[in-house]
Every structure is written in structure tokens, then in C-alpha cells.
Amino acid sequence: MTNMLLAEWTTPFGIAPFDLIADADFAPALDVALAEHDAEIDAITADTGAASFDSVIGALESAGQALDKVLSVFFTVAGADSNPAREALQREFSPKLAQHFSRMTANKALFARIEAVWSARDQLDLNAEQERVLMLTRRGFVRAGAALTGEQDKRMAEIKSRLAELGTEFTQNVLADERSWFMELGEEGLEGLPDFVVETARAAGEEKEANGPVVTLSRSLIVPFLQFSSKRDLRQKAFEAWAARGANGGATDNREICAEILALRHERAQLLGYESFADYKLETEMAGTPAAVRQLLNDVWEPAKAQANADAEVLAGMMADDGVNGDLAPWDWRYYADKRRAIEHDLDEAEVKPYFQLDRMIEASFACANRLFGLEFAPLEVPLYHADCRAWDVTRNGKHVAVFIGDYFARGSKRSGAWCSAMRAQAKFPEVQAPVVINVCNFAKASPALLSYDDARTLFHEFGHALHQMLSDVTYESISGTSVARDFVELPSQLYEHWLDVPEVLAEFATHVETGEAMPKALLDKVLGAATFDMGFQTVEYVASAMVDLAFHEGAPPADPMQRQGAILAEMGMPEAITMRHATPHFAHVFAGDGYSSGYYSYMWSEVMDADAFAAFEEKGDAFDAELAQALEENILSTGGSKDAAELYTAFRGRMPGVDALLKGRGLQA
């Protein structure tokens, strides 16, 4: 039988034929694709003609298409619908891929050809995009160790391979802990829980084949449980299990893995001549240096901590009024914060949630994209990798723009969190290709599916990433869509969240699940008025995680990351009733791969810009101002990494922003 991973896909818009692909196809397809990529690289180095942009950089851009096809399918299903076979393949593939790409970036003949093009660049009549691609390609090879020789070169390859293995192991350990733990509630354990949480707990119990409703470690279930459960002992048990992911001892414990990852990253940076991994990693980001990141985090930390400490006193008083002895604990914060919100804002999430239907929020995200950018979305019936997935054909003025896939519900086979990826990125070389973009979330599955306000923001956030991919309009795939500086990539996603808060959007799409009526204005005003409620807590848990990430990668690596984590938090004066948003043993942003290592701060760096960018629409008095929407697309959403991030933002806004807009937006500054 034909291995469909290696065949031409005749499906609509060239979507992967998931129904014709079996797990057994991946390993043989990967071997063929790797060999094909090797042959393409060999052809570049065997060329004896003068090195030109087309013969070297262009050839690199067009190489590896079969490999891209195989990996796009595999990593999609491995992250969103894993099983033992796919987990085993991940462990097999990670070092193999690391070795492959390490071999390519260490290829001295290939690097010599790139250097020849670089040296002759002023005589090659390159356009601006080609100059950018050449610079980024050369820089990527240098930073990967292409200029290393001898034992250093060999050691770099070993480090990359080992890091790939450790990242995969880290991810699978967290998933295993999340999948294996659940707590049976019985009927008494449902006390205080609103109907939507009870329904979700019952559905989770059925999935786990338990005797009744359960709490799992899925964020969409455990957070509302901590928020509403009146059983303090159960809240504590659930919270401690959630916080202990990756640190439970035994085969799934990540603490030694974290220590080894940090040590290897430091060694890697020093091989390349950098003082620390943070210096190496931040060199190519907008921030540029660890000092710039620390300045931003410090500017936000002090007002956030002051607000959180003030809030803690109020919550502790409420707990004492309930006759609870002892100090306010992390498993108490959400419960009493929700009670406080109900008092101060007269806002009950159980009253709000029926207005945030998943399907209506998807419609809202599409409608905003239509008003801003003229995009239209039509359901697309194609086989996908799971029955929960759905697809849309995205068009503008009748012309196909992209395929968008949504996979919204939590399940045991899916890693936690939410993400966006391009199964195929936009490009015009070597031929025109439209993107296939997927949003993956972990919302509680129910019928009908209802979201919290935070869930709805997550949906808009990930769709902002999707727009960055779908509206991309560049020639070369290496700079397409979200291929930008890490501390710039969150700008489009965080900016798009603002449109959820536009009153006319909520008035149209926040309709009651039973009556179909729009959210009453009084309730709408409460929702928007409480938008910055408990922002001290949210900011502290985030900044603490970002500070720990940065400190881990500055200077010598810690022998005991957990001890170092505790010391960092103590130095910061971390409020006792708040924990890091992501503790080290399950901090996937930082340890599942290099993506956000030394870079978790980037959400806040981008937030400085997104607060300022949306202020431009507010200054116009119209969240859908056509001229600004066009400028946003032309200068940010369509440009990918074709220009420096600061240059792109300045082209849109006329200047770079300060931190004041962020603090004001979070309610931490008047």
C-alpha cells in the first residue's frame, strides 16, 4: 500500500489525508524524507558554480518539503491526540531529527557556500526580502555552531541530540501525570459547584470510567473547581496534585531532567562564546539583553506585588469571617477571590457562563476578522485526525486564503494548554502555497459547550496567532507568519484579545444558551468592569515564572533548580498565597523545548505593544477603523519576519511604546 505521507495529496486544498495515514506510516516515511533532504543538501554543496542566492539560499528554502509534510502531520497528532505508539515515536524521532539538523548546520561545505553568498551580497542585486532571508540563514547557522570545529563541533552535536531527548521526555512525563491523576468527588464533593462544573466533572468521570464525577488536572476543570468548591480539604488535595505535576518521584519526575537541560544549555552557549544561555538566546529578540528583560519585569513586579498583598489581606479577612483558621493558602485564593468579585462587582461566573457558548465565540472571532480584514469562513467537510476537530475554508473577495482547523476540547490524549501551529505555512517560493492553520485548546467538553470569560479570551488569543499565519504575504517560508522574534510573536495574539471586550461584539455574540437573548447591558457592564479584577494575582504568578526562567539561564546553571527556584522567589518577596503560574517541573514553555527558554517574559514584552496598539483604535473611537486595520495587516500581520520587529511596530504606530499602557490596562496604575 502507498504510504500517504509520501504521496501527493489530492485532498481539498492539499490538507493531510488523516483518514489514510496510520501510525505505522510515520517511521518509514521519516526515513525516506530525511534521506531526500540529505540528497538535496548534498546537491547544494556539490554545485561547483559560483555561489548565488538562488543556488544556495533559494535551494535551502525549497529543500525538505517531504520532511515538512511528514513532520507537520506527526507533531500535530503527537501533541493533540497522543497514544503510546506516538509517544514511542516521539522518543525515537527527537534525537534522530536533532542529529539530522545538527549535521546540516555543522556541514562545513554548506556553510562555506552560505558564506560565499554573504561575502558577495553587495554585488548580487538582492531585494529587501532576500537580504533578510540571507542574513537570517547565515545567523542561524552561526548560532547553531556552524563555525565550530573539532571537538567543539562534535560536542555541540551531542548537546543538541541530548536536549531533544530530554525535551520529549519532559513533555511526556507531564502528560502522564496529568492523565493518570483524578479525584473522585462523590455527591458531597459537588457542594458549591455550579451546574456547568458539575456537568464537566460528571463527563470527566465517564471518560475516566470512575464511579461518578471527578476532578482532573485539566485546567478547564481544576480552575473552576478551585474557584467554586466549598470543600477546602478537596481544594487543597486538587491544588497540590496540580502543582506537583512532574515532581511526584518515580519515572515521571522531571526535576533531574530540568537540571540537565539547564546545564546543557549553558554549555551550548559557552561553546558559542556567550557568557550565559540568556545572553545567547536574547541576542536575536527585541529585548536584546537579560538586563532589558529584567528592567521590564521589575517595572511591573513592584506595583503587581503591592496590589496582590493588599488583595491577600482582604481575602484573608473573608476567610476568617468564614471561621477558617490558618493563613490564606494558594488553594484558597481563587475561591475567595470569586466570592469577593461577586460582592464588589455583583458578578457571578455561573450567571455569566451561559452567555459564552463556544460556537458563538468562534462566530465572534470570525466576525471580527471579517470586519477588520474582510475574511470569510465557510465550513469544510474533510477527514481530520479527531472527531472533535472542524475545519473552515477561509476566503477574501472569493479567493482562497487559508484552511483553518479548530480542535477545542480537552481529552486525555492531548497535552495541556492552548496553541496555534501551521501545518503548512504561507509561501510563494518555490511555488505559491496557502497556509493550513490549526488552533488547539483544552475547553471542557459538554453539550452545549460553555466557556468562562478567560476561556473566551484564550480562543481569541489563539485566533490572533492564526490570523498572523493566514494573512502572511511573503515569498519565503522561513520568514512566513509567526516566524518572528519570540517577544514579538505574541503581539498579534494578545492584541486580538481586545476585540472580545468590544461592547458591540459582546452585545451581538454573548447570547444566552437557552433563550438566545443578548447579555443584558447591566451584566455586560459588570463583565467589562471586572476585566482587571484580581490582576495583582494574575500578574504576580506570571512575572514570578518569567523571573525564574530568566534567572535559571543567567550565569552558571543551578545544580538544584528547585532550590534555586525557592531562592529566587524569596528574593522577590513572593506573596505566600500565590504560586508560580508554571512551577519548574511542569514549565513546558521553558523545558519542553528551547522556544520560550529565557523568553517567557515575551508575553509581557508583547503586551506592552498590544496595549499601545489597541489604544490606537481607541484614539480613533472605532475598534474596527478600516484605515488602522489595513495598517495593522500591512505592517504586522502580513509581513512575517521580513523586517526587524521594532521596525514593523514603528511603521504601524509611529514609535515604540512604554510600560505605562500595560500597567494602566492591567489596572495597576491610575
The phi and psi torsions of 377 (rounded to 5 degrees) equal -130, 120
Give pLDDT, residue 349.
Answer: 83
Q: Distance between CA 605 and CA 543 in Å, rounded?
A: 11
Q: Is 462 a catalytic residue?
A: yes
Is the previous residue joined to 448 through a cis bond, with omega within 30 degrees of 0? yes
Query: Cell numbers 461577586 correspond to what residue?
Result: 342
Instruction: Collect the ranges in the chain with pLDDT lower than 70.
Output: 670
**Which among 259, 257, 262, 265 has a CA at the least distance from the CA of 156?**
265
Q: Distance between CA 11 and CA 383 in Å, rounded?
A: 9
* Rg value, the chain, Cα: 25
Q: Distance between CA 110 and CA 142 in Å, rounded?
A: 12
Q: Which one is catalytic: 61, 129, 462, 633? A: 462
For residue 437, list its beta bridge partners.
404, 422
Residue 11: how many CA atoms within 13 Å on its side-chain side?
Answer: 18
343-345-346-347 Cα dihedral, nearest 10 degrees? -110
CB-CB neighbours of 377 under 10 Å: 20
Give pLDDT, residue 531.
Answer: 86
Is 606 within 8 Å of 488 (Cβ atoms)? yes
Pairing of strands 214-216, 182-184: antiparallel
Q: Which residues contact 174 (CB under 8 A, 6 or more apart)?
A: 245, 246, 252, 254, 415, 416, 585, 586, 588, 592
The phi and psi torsions of 295 (rounded to 5 degrees) equal -60, -45
Q: pLDDT tens across 502-542, in order?
A: 999 999 999 999 999 999 999 999 998 888 999 999 999 99
Give pLDDT, residue 90.
Answer: 96
- Three cell numbers at 274? 556567550
Is 579 within 8 Å of 543 (Cβ atoms)? no
- For residue 186, give the 3-state DSSP assignment: coil
Give pLDDT, residue 533.
Answer: 94
Give pLDDT, residue 658.
Answer: 87
Pairing of strands 399-409, 436-443: parallel
Give pLDDT, residue 464.
Answer: 98
Q: Distance between CA 594 and CA 162 in Å, rounded?
A: 13
Give pLDDT, residue 53.
Answer: 98
Q: Distance between CA 636 and CA 627 in Å, rounded?
A: 14
All domains of the chain, ordered by start, with CATH? 12-168 (1.10.1370.40), 181-245 (no CATH), 252-345+535-600 (1.10.1370.10), 354-529+603-665 (1.10.1370.40)
Is 552 within 8 Å of 544 (Cβ atoms)? no
Buried b (16+ CB within 10 A) or exposed e, 66-89: bbbbbbbbbebbbbbbbeeebbeb
CB-CB neighbours of 345 under 10 Å: 15
